[in-house]
């Protein structure tokens, strides 16, 4: 996709460059003055001395003045005054010139003028022994070439310098003039289409109407229909909001302006509003087009919020955006699209019809959508024929499109690291673990006691997932440390649903508590390994009591998310109850936790043999897949592991037998040597 950036960096013109230009101009002017000047020494001559230097016959100079050149100008502006005479002379034919100046009254000047006319008439040779040159306005009305250059050249230098400074200032990235320019990036041709967007069928159907309007606006105008001016894409990060907007621009084949909400706001007041105006002005020149504002919550938050009142600059920017989207002006052919994951903090004026008419919620993909997304990102990947994308989709609930793309990329990196020509299933498994928990810490070694504790802890979670009806399905168990966890269970819901029942929530709590139950049951001791499980279990139980109405306190919501949006996150909760009710809430939460604990303890007691079986294989193998777990539950043994152990035992037996044979051979040779020594005659 070719992008045209209207805000490419320009060469900056600094004060150092200006200073150098001034120095160069002064040097050139000095050279000109030195060339055109008449010398540095000036002699003041009285009128009588000056007149005596001129011969009486009007043809030659005095013998001691071989060369004389003079200029005249009026000092008073009339002939009744006096004249200033400047010139140069030299006494010797090869000597240096001496500058002089004198003053003549009008009468003397007239006589000198008559004398000069006679000199001009005689047209004396400049190379003569004695030469006299007299330049006056009366004798020559035109300027000499050197005089013209001496006047015009400095003027041209000054004018050129001013023009250069102005043009350099316009081209430079001067913040004083560039702050108000829009920073939106323009893409003329987007290579993204709806084929590149997977798993968003309903959302794409909503966008088809926008594409049709951009292609054929006439039929909508004839029907009196008004196309939505703005579309707000709401959803978690990585779900494809920006990708969907690019696909709309690619399908409609119209210019696509992209900008982030944070690009509008600066520390200088009025800059953001100016950028909004400039952006819409540029968009009108390229209409029909699409303006996409990513993370619009940076500039579109509710006005009047904040710890000390609203941010004036941000609010001015928002006001200008509101006016541009639906004000007195018209923006025909401009569709504004925006993306955010915090639609709850946006200003209500921004969400009303006429501005953002539609809100399209993009949620995390379900299992079928995840399979489609994996197919899109697997186009340029060399996958093994044994890799089943649907199985990967089932193992990755809660993954966004960005997470799935990262998963396949991690698998490709692992395959390339091993110099494999295709991505195999174990590469995918390792990539899933990396994305969820981080890379394995193989260098971290457990003691035998710690290894057994972690194995029983994770096996306790797995047994609840296997035997409890509403619990999640166990996909994988491992005791290999990853991140901050000593091991983990990968458990996915049997069916992805929109709602959760009370049985499902209590099953989750029971499964979380099973690790601690197994530790106490087998080792009769407590460890810190269950602290994160307790945090999650308590949060679920408290939500059941205070938000979901799933306790004896009745269908009452005692806590709700705070409306304080100035922090950007819901760090506070509104509590609309007394201290007595708070005590009852704590008792209900504790009651739910205790009931789940007792239920989990009973299940583990009833399935102690399965618990020991899973823990034993975890200590030996360290990782069990769903296929391994199903085989252990159904048969009580792991066929591939039994074969592997048999081969290992056979190899070990062969090795020990070889050692015994070598030792026996050495003993026999030693005994034979001793017998031969004894049989020899002494």
Which of 514, 563, 509 lies closest to 539, judged by CA? 509
Tokens of 263: 């690009």
Which of 512, 435, 445 lies closest to 472, judged by CA? 512
Residue 492's contacts (CB-CB under 8 Å, 6 or more residues apart) are: 394, 395, 397, 472, 473, 475
Q: Is 511 in contact with 464 (CB distance < 8 Å)?
A: yes
Q: Is 517 in contact with 509 (CB distance < 8 Å)?
A: no
Distance between CA atoms of residues 528 and 454, nearest Å: 11
Q: Is 48 in contact with 65 (CB distance < 8 Å)?
A: no
Residue 29's contacts (CB-CB under 8 Å, 6 or more residues apart) are: 153, 154, 157
Q: Active-site residue 458, yes or no?
A: yes
Q: Is 245 in contact with 234 (CB distance < 8 Å)?
A: no
Distance between CA atoms of residues 95 and 98, nearest Å: 9
Q: What is the DSSP letter of 298?
A: G
Tokens of 122: 């005689």
Which candidate in 458, 519, 588, 601 is catalytic? Answer: 458
Which segments of 409-487 are extended strands (E)?
473-478
For residue 573, give the H/E element and its range.
Answer: strand 573-575
Dmax (CA) for the chain in angstroms is 164
Q: What is the DSSP letter of 492?
A: E
Burial class of residue 27, CB neighbours in 10 A (0-12, 13-18, 19+): exposed
Which of 302, 204, 193, 211 lies closest to 250, judged by CA? 193
Distance between CA atoms of residues 198 and 370, nearest Å: 8
Q: Is 324 in contact with 280 (CB distance < 8 Å)?
A: yes
The catalytic site residues sit at 458
């Amino acid at each position: 996709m070719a992008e045209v950036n209207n805000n490419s960096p320009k060469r900056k013109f600094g004060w150092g460059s200006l200073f150098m230009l001034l120095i160069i101009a002064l040097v050139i002017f000095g050279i000109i003055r030195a060339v055109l000047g008449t010398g540095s020494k000036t002699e003041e001559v009285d009128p009588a001395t000056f007149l005596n230097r001129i011969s009486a016959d009007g043809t030659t100079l005095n013998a001691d003045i071989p060369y004389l050149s003079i200029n005249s100008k009026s000092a008073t502006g009339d002939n009744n005054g006096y004249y200033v005479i400047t010139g140069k002379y030299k006494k010797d034919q090869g000597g240096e010139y001496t500058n002089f100046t004198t003053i003549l009254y009008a009468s003397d000047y007239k006589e000198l003028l008559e004398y000069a006319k006679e000199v001009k008439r005689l047209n004396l040779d400049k190379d003569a022994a004695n030469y006299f040159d007299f330049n006056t306005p009366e004798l020559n009305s035109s300027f000499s070439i050197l005089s013209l250059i001496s006047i015009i050249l400095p003027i041209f230098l000054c004018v050129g310098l001013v023009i250069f400074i102005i043009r350099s200032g316009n081209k430079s990235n001067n913040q004083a003039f560039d702050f108000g320019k829009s920073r939106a990036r323009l893409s003329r041709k987007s290579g993204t289409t709806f084929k590149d967007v997977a798993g968003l069928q309903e959302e794409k159907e909503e966008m088809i109407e926008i594409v049709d309007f951009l292609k054929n606006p006439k039929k909508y105008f004839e029907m009196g229909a008004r196309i939505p001016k703005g579309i707000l894409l709401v959803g978690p990060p990585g779900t494809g909001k920006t990708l969907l907007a690019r696909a709309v621009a690619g399908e409609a084949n119209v210019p696509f302006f992209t900008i982030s909400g944070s690009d509008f706001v600066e520390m200088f007041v009025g800059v953001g509003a100016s950028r909004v105006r400039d952006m819409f002005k540029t968009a009108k020149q390229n209409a029909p087009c699409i303006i996409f504002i990513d993370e619009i919550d940076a500039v579109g938050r509710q006005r009047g919020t904040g710890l000390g009142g609203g941010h004036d600059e941000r609010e001015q920017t928002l006001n200008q955006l509101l006016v541009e989207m639906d004000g007195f002006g018209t923006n025909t052919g401009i569709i504004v699209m925006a993306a955010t994951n915090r639609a709850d903090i946006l200003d209500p004026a921004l969400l009303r019809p006429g501005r953002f008419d539609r809100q399209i919620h993009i949620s995390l993909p379900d299992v079928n959508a995840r399979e489609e997304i994996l197919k899109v990102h697997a186009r340029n990947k060399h996958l093994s024929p044994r890799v089943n994308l649907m199985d990967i989709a089932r193992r990755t609930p809660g993954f966004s499109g960005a997470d799935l793309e990262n998963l396949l990329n991690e698998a490709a990196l692992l395959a390339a690291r091993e110099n494999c020509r295709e991505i195999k299933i174990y590469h995918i498994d390792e990539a899933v673990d990396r994305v969820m928990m981080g890379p394995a810490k193989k260098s971290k070694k457990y003691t035998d006691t710690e290894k057994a504790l972690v194995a029983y802890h994770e096996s306790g979670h797995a047994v609840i997932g296997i035997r409890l009806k509403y619990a999640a399905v166990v996909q994988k168990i491992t005791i290999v440390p990853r991140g901050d966890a000593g091991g983990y269970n990968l458990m996915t819901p049997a069916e992805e649903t929109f709602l959760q029942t009370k049985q499902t929530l209590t099953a989750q709590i029971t499964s979380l508590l099973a690790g601690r139950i197994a530790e106490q049951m087998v080792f009769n001791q407590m460890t810190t390994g269950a602290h994160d499980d307790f945090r999650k279990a308590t949060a679920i139980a408290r939500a059941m009591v205070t938000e979901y109405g799933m306790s004896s306190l009745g269908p009452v919501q005692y806590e709700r998310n705070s409306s304080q949006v100035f922090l950007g996150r819901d760090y506070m909760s509104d509590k609309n109850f007394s201290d007595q009710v708070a005590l009852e809430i704590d008792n209900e939460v504790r009651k739910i936790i205790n009931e789940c604990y007792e239920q989990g303890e009973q299940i583990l007691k009833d399935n102690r043999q399965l618990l020991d079986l899973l823990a034993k294989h975890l200590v030996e193998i360290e990782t069990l897949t769903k296929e391994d777990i199903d085989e252990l539950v159904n048969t009580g043994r792991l066929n591939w592991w039994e074969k592997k152990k048999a081969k290992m035992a056979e190899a070990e037996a062969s090795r020990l037998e070889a050692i015994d044979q070598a030792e026996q051979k050495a003993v026999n040779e030693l005994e034979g040597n001793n017998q031969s020594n004894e049989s020899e005659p002494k």
